[in-house]
Amino acid sequence: MTSVQPVYLFGTCLIDMYYPTAGLDAAALLELCGYQVEYPLAQTCCGQPAYNSGYTKESYDVAAHTVRLFSQQNYPLIVPSASCASMIKHEYPSLLARQSELSRLANSLAARTFELIDFIADLLPFDQLAKQKEQTVCLHASCSSQRAMPVADRWREVLSSIPGVSLLEPEDAAECCGFGGTFAVKSPVLSNTMTKDKAAKLLAGGPDCIASGDCGCLMSLGNHIKYLHGHDPCLHIASILANAFGVAHEE
Amino acid sequence: MTNTARTDILNRLRKSRPTPKDASAETGATEPRLVHQAESDLHIELSKQLSLNRAQVVESTQLTLSSTLAELAREHAIRQLLVGTHPDFHPPCEHAMSSVDGTVLLYNKDYEAQCDNLFNEIDAGLTSVQAAVAETGTLVIIPSRDEPRMLSLAPPIHIAVVKSDCPVYANLKQLMHEPLWQKTEMPTNIIFVSSPSKTADIQQTLAYGAHGPRHFIVILLKD
Amino acid sequence: MKSEFDRRIALALADQELRKNFKGAMHFLRDKRLQAIGDPQIWENMRTEGARIRENVLNHLPELLEQLEANCQKNGIQVHWARDGDEANHIILSIAQKHQVRQVVKGKSMATEEIELNAFLAEAGIECLESDMGEYIVQLADEKPSHIIMPAIHKNKQQIHELFVNKLNAQGDPNDVDRLIGVGRSILRDKFRQADMGISGVNFAAADSGTLCLVENEGNGRMSTTAPPIHVAVMGLEKVIPSLNTLSTLLPLLTRSATGQAITTYINMISGPRKPGERDGPTEVHLVLLDNGRSAIHQDNDMQSTLACIRCGACMNHCPVYTRIGGHAYGSTYPGPIGQVITPQLKGLEQNAALVSACSLNGACGEACPVKIELPSLIRRLRERVAKTNPQNSLSERWLWSIWRWLNIHPRIYHWLTRCASWLHWIPVAGPKSWRKERDFPQLAANPLRHRMRIRKQQTKKAGPDD
């Protein structure tokens, strides 16, 4: 196996702290697709929280750190979050434009940054999958996955390719779950109202689980649903896929 | 005071640097939806769209116009029909209204002199049409000394007569490329009319006859 | 620490009837727009074209305004320039006083809402009656519009029925909307005839022909600009367009985005007062070009695209925040995303800092905007300015972000701290109390991903070359 292609995995801060399993499952899926996963240990956050809050200078330094870290090699950068992927792909080039060397690196990194599911959707060996247990999955297409980083259709595609999975779409599928990063901190009452509405719509069809590719949404929805019903049915799509392909991380 | 305001505002606007992106041309790229359609198709589309817009569309000819008008007068209980001073439609209107014991009135005085009449007595106003747009079911009406603005606005019924030689355009874009819109001297008023007066301001419920005509009747004249 | 805006948000969210009214209305408007825009590729081309036209206008704004002025004057329209609302109000008052105006009838105009013209003229003893059905209802209730296109969208028909019973003594079936509209119609038709002056807004003003273009469904705009002897049009100076040609793009963009219509009932194009020999129309037409903060926005390169707006309201119809709290909660003339961008620029960022926070940057508004204004980016840029300059912005918040920055560029300490947090089950990002109220505490993982990836790598290495 000498021709194994290396890729960078950017774990994102939320996956690092709250959903490490999703990160491990992402790594396993990449390996299943024939990649060698490089996970630089010095990675932190993409800088989006500060950027969206208007703390651009603070965000600039963190973005610069991330760009330098992932510029040591020219590997594709795989991000298991549409939101963080979009930050790197679409915001870094303008954010870092004023310094020519960083700007060059940011543009190069942006060009090789991919959202995880979009990157592996065509490579996963779905034809080898045996029939699995029947389950209904309700998809939460995050705002980033619909607009800035339009990969929501890829999410639908992979989920409905798993034998046994029936995919549900909630009412008002395009509407925001209310997380919005620091929006939840700055406008907590609004954020909560939106999350409550979203959770009710996602649960309306009685799904076995709620899937998304953005952990911010999953955390916000999961915490609320757990408060209401005592359990958290939210899963990262990478974990559902890893389970189906039998490469999921065992706790 | 106003002059200083003008200078101040323009000076401030001139200080702005234009956005770096190039923005030279001003019209262009949108695809017209209907391209080079046969004239008969355009008439069919116009009629269809007007009907969808809740206009009552009636086909007629120059010869049968008076009987069409008489029928409409009976259907809508029109007793007083207001027309412009251009004599084109006078004979068929006179004929039609006399057959229903109604009268034809001429808009031949200034608005101020007949405004009570216009708002309270007249049952319907009849106007000609200068052009039409098939895609949206729109009539272009250019009020004039002969056919003043209120003729198509104040009476509860507006009857618009589209002559057979009235130009019908596929869409707005094609209409706007016509010489009229390139002229620097414009008529005082141009109106696009596409339906009866309406509103959805109360709980999104569509209601007709908000302030203008409740009924919009379009007579399409064929050769 | 709680802003007035926060208090209004809480009130709006607690009003179940209001929330139901807005939810219904927003769904209705979104669905209608979606049906009306048809083929997405053609729509996208049209948006691109619309954005280009508006950008072009902003690039040539002073020249276009001079051209508009010259051609309007040639057509007999008297043009006035107003630096601010006060100046505009005085211009209109002096026109009114010159003609001994007692009664004004108004077409819908957000610019006159912005300068609070009605209240100003009322003080001078001149009564201004709103004639757009929605505006009429709102005025009757002594309220302000809650939406720029559908001013009375916060009320349902029962509430309007009660209003009509109380204020007009109009009894009848509360569910009969035709009857309710009929009540307004008969009152207002008299007013059109009696009014000494008509005041309207302007949707587009064509520079090359000196034409004012008004877009409407009801006919009250035509009435207000035709029946009274004087017509005064008030227009934000960004509404100029190079020529009527551009309407073939801008009109369908506006009407589809605003009400989901391919075209409105009336497009009213006015190129002057009644000419000698003509039977009707006002004998004087005035155009008031209103700056009121717009030239400052124009000078601000990062924010200039704010002025590309054609006031369709699609951004609010698609905003999850607006959908839940409605227009009044914003406490400004323009609500929703465009209001969150305009208000701080017109009325001061310091006093309106809370407005720019109330956005999840979900992007729905930018996607709906017919002229492609990047509203989320504009909101983010305003947040940048709040962060930099606003003294109300607490020192502790700035400190937090400085610490956040320092940790994120010192990965060793960052990771040591996250591991400690995991062990201690202490949560650094838990959010404020009111957010946590209806949630379980976010659970930190026992071991962060970085730690597990390190172990994973060591295990892979140990497994040897045959792996």
- Residues within 8 A of A (CB atoms), C 364-403 only: 364, 366-367, 380-388, 398, 401-402
Contacts of A190 in chain C (CB under 8 A): 9, 13, 321, 324-325, 358
pLDDT at B19: 60
B212 and C218: CB-CB below 8 Å? Answer: yes
Q: Pick the range with the lowest mean pLDDT from C91-95, C382-386, C427-431.
A: C427-431
Task: Report, as an integer, the average pLDDT of B186-211.
Answer: 95
The answer, as to whether pTM is greater than 0.90, is yes
User: What's the gap in Å between the CA of C383 and the closest CA on chain B?
Assistant: 22
Q: Among A191-195, B28-32, C196-200, where is mean pLDDT lowest?
A: B28-32
Q: What is the helix (H) or strand (E) element at residue B221, kind and residue range?
A: strand B215-222
Q: Tokens for C437, please give them.
A: 């109220």
CB contact under 8 A, C321 and A190: yes
> Does C13 reach chain A within 8 Å, measured CB to CB?
yes
Q: Provide the number of CB pairs (under 8 Å) joining chain A to chain C.
A: 193
Residue C467 confidence (pLDDT) above 50: no
**pLDDT for residue A133:** 87
What is the spatial order of strands in the sheet that B157-162 belongs to?
A: B56-61, B215-222, B157-162, B124-128, B80-83, B103-106
pLDDT at res. B82: 98
Among A58, A59, A221, the residue to mutate for chain C (most C Cβ within 10 A): A58
- The answer to whether the CB atoms of B148 and C177 lie below 8 A apart is no
Taking CA–CA distances from A142, the nearest residue in chain C reads C362
Of the listed ranges A167-171, C142-146, C421-425, the least confidently predicted one is C421-425
Higher pLDDT, B181 or B73: B73
In terms of Cβ atoms closer than 10 Å to its own Cβ (0-12, 13-18, 19+), residue B20 is exposed
Question: If you search the block for the tokens 């204004």, which residue do you land on?
Answer: C373
Report DSSP letters for A49-62, one per residue.
HHHHHT-HHHHHHH
The string of DSSP letters for C103-122 reads EEEE---HHHHHTTHHHHHH
pLDDT at C10 over 60: yes
Mutate to test the interface with B, among C181, C187, C208, C238 (most CBs of B within 10 A): C181
Name chain A contacts of C357, Cβ cutoff 8 Å.
Answer: 183, 186-187
Q: Which two tokens stand for residue C40?
A: 């997405």
pLDDT at C427 over 70: no
Q: What is the mean pLDDT of residues B94-102?
A: 97
Burial class of A94 by CB neighbour count within 10 A (0 to 12, 13 to 18, 19+)? exposed
Half-sphere exposure of C450 (CA within 13 A, CB side): 22
B208: its two tokens: 């007709």
Q: Is A89 left (phi over 0), alpha (psi -120 to 50) or beta?
A: alpha
With cut-offs at 50, 70 and 90, classify the pLDDT of residue B75. very high
pLDDT of C267 over the 70 cut: yes
Please give the Cα distance from C84 to B4 (Å, whole number).
Answer: 13
Q: Taking CB atoms and an 8 Å cutoff, what residues of chain C touch B185?
A: 209
C188 lies within 8 A of chain A by CB: no
Provide the residue type at C18 as one letter: L
Asked if the C-beta of B25 comes within 8 angstroms of chain C's C-beta atoms, the answer is: yes
Residue-wise DSSP of C50-69: HHHHHHHHHHTHHHHHHHHH
pLDDT beyond 70 at C391: no
Q: Which residues pair with C143 in a beta bridge?
A: none
Q: CB–CB of B191 and C193 under 8 A? A: no
Q: Which residues on chain A are in Cβ contact (under 8 Å) with C431?
A: 184-185, 188
- Which of C94, C263, C268, C288 has the highest number of chain B CBs within 10 A, making it the mutation to test binding with B? C263
B25 burial class (0-12, 13-18, 19+ CB within 10 angstroms)?
Answer: exposed
Three-class SS state of A129 = coil
pLDDT band, very low/low/confident/very high, at C426 (cuts 50, 70, 90): low
d(CA C94, CA C101) in angstroms, rounded, equals: 10
For residue C221, the chain B residue with the least C-alpha distance is B211
Q: Chain B contacts of C83, Cβ < 8 Å? A: 5, 8-9
Identify the CA nearest to A158 among candidates A244, A77, A82. Answer: A244
Do residues C295 and B5 lie in contact, with contact meaning Cβ atoms separated by under 8 Å?
A: no
Mutate to test the interface with C, among B54, B188, B206, B214 (most CBs of C within 10 A): B188
Q: Is the pLDDT reported for residue B34 higher than 50?
A: no
| Cβ-Cβ contacts under 8 Å for C284 (sequence gap 6 or more) | C78, C95, C99, C229, C230, C231, C273
Q: pLDDT exceeding 90 applies to what percent of chain A?
A: 92
Asked whether the beta carbons of C120 and C146 are under 8 A apart, the reply is no
Q: Which long-range contacts (CB under 8 A, 24 or more apart) does B162-165 make?
A: B162/B129, B162/B132, B162/B218, B162/B219, B162/B220, B162/B221, B163/B128, B163/B129, B163/B221, B164/B62, B164/B221, B164/B222, B164/B223
Local confidence band at C126 (pLDDT 50, 70, 90 cut-offs)? very high
Indicate whether B202 pLDDT > 50: yes
Q: pLDDT tier at B2 (50, 70, 90 boundaries)?
A: low
Question: Chains B vs C: touching, with 3+ CB pairs under 8 Å?
Answer: yes
Whether chain C has a CB inside 8 Å of the CB on B191: the answer is yes
pLDDT at position A1 is: 45
Is residue C1 scored above 60 in pLDDT? no
pLDDT interval class at A19 (50, 70, 90): very high
Q: Choose the closest CB to C83 out of B5, B33, B153.
A: B5
Chain B residues in contact with C277 (beta carbon < 8 A): 145
* Cβ-contact A234, A210 below 8 angstroms: yes
In this structure, what token pair is assigned to residue C270?
């006015």
User: Do C197 and B121 meet the contact criterion of CB atoms below 8 Å apart?
Assistant: no
The predicted pLDDT at position A29 comes to: 98
pLDDT of residue C431: 58
* Residue carrying structure tokens 């209802």: C137
Phi, psi for C198 (deg, rounded to 5): -115, 135
Inter-chain touch A176–C445, beta carbons under 8 Å? no
Give the tokens for residue C280.
């009707």
What pLDDT score was predicted for residue B22?
Answer: 45
Judged against a pLDDT cut of 70, whether residue C349 lies above it is answered with: yes
Q: For C442, which of A143, A144, A219 is closest by C-beta distance?
A: A219
Q: What angle do CA A150, A156, A161 make, to 5 degrees?
A: 140
- Composition of chain C by helix, strand, coil, percent to 5: 55, 10, 35
> Confidence class of residue C397 from pLDDT cuts 50, 70 and 90?
confident
B54 phi-psi bin (left φ>0, alpha ψ -120 to 50, beta other)? left
Structure tokens at C112: 């006159």
- The residue of C265, C268, C269, C298 whose CB has the most chain B CBs within 10 angstroms, and thus the best one to mutate to test that interface, is C265
* Spatial distance between the Cα atoms of B134 and B170, rounded to a whole number of angstroms: 5
Report the candidate in C150, C247, C218, C200 with the shortest Cα–Cα distance to residue B190. C247
User: 74-103 in B: which are within 8 Å (CB) of C?
Assistant: none
Q: What pLDDT is recorded for position B30?
A: 46
| Per-residue pLDDT reduced to its tens digit, C54-111 | 999 999 999 999 999 999 999 999 999 999 999 999 999 999 999 999 999 999 999 9
The Cα–Cα gap between C412 and B108 comes to 90
Nearest chain C Cα distance for residue B14, angstroms:
6
Task: Evaluate if residue B35 carries a pLDDT over 60.
Answer: no
Whether C56 sits inside 8 A of B26 (CB atoms) is yes
Tell the burial category of C370 from Cβ atoms under 10 Å away from its Cβ (0-12, 13-18, 19+).
buried
Q: Is B35 on the interface with C (CB under 8 A)?
A: no
Mean pLDDT within C209-235: 98
Is residue B114 predicted with pLDDT exceeding 50?
A: yes
pLDDT at residue C359 tops 70: yes
Question: Is residue C282 pLDDT above 80, yes or no?
Answer: yes
Lowest mean pLDDT among A61-75, C314-328, C342-356: C342-356
Strands (E), chain A: 5-9, 35-38, 77-79, 113-115, 135-139, 165-168, 209-212, 234-236
User: In the prediction, which pLDDT does C428 show?
Assistant: 53
The pLDDT confidence band at residue B18, using thresholds 50, 70 and 90, is: low
Identify the sign of the CA torsion B119, B124, B128, B129.
positive
User: Distance between CA C388 and CA A54 in Å, rounded?
Assistant: 8
Residue C97 CA to residue C91 CA, distance in Å, equals 10
Report the pLDDT value the prediction gives residue C168, as an integer from 0 to 100: 95
Give me the pLDDT at residue B184, please.
Answer: 64
For the segment C375-382, the average pLDDT, to the nearest whole number, is: 97
**Residue A214 main-chain phi, psi, to 5 deg:** -130, 120
Residue C463 has pLDDT above 80, yes or no: no
Q: What percent of chain B has pLDDT over 70?
A: 89
Distance from chain centroid for Cα C130: 19
Rounded Cα distance between C394 and C374, Å, is: 28
Taking an 8 Å cut-off on Cβ atoms, the answer to whether A180 and C361 are in contact is yes
Report the pLDDT value the prediction gives residue C281, as an integer from 0 to 100.
Answer: 97
Where residue B36 falls among pLDDT bands split at 50, 70, 90? Answer: low
Each residue's pLDDT tens digit, C195-212: 999 999 999 999 999 999
Tell me which residue of B217, B214, B208, B212 sits closest to B71, measured CA to CA.
Answer: B217
Q: Which two tokens stand for residue A61?
A: 């330094």
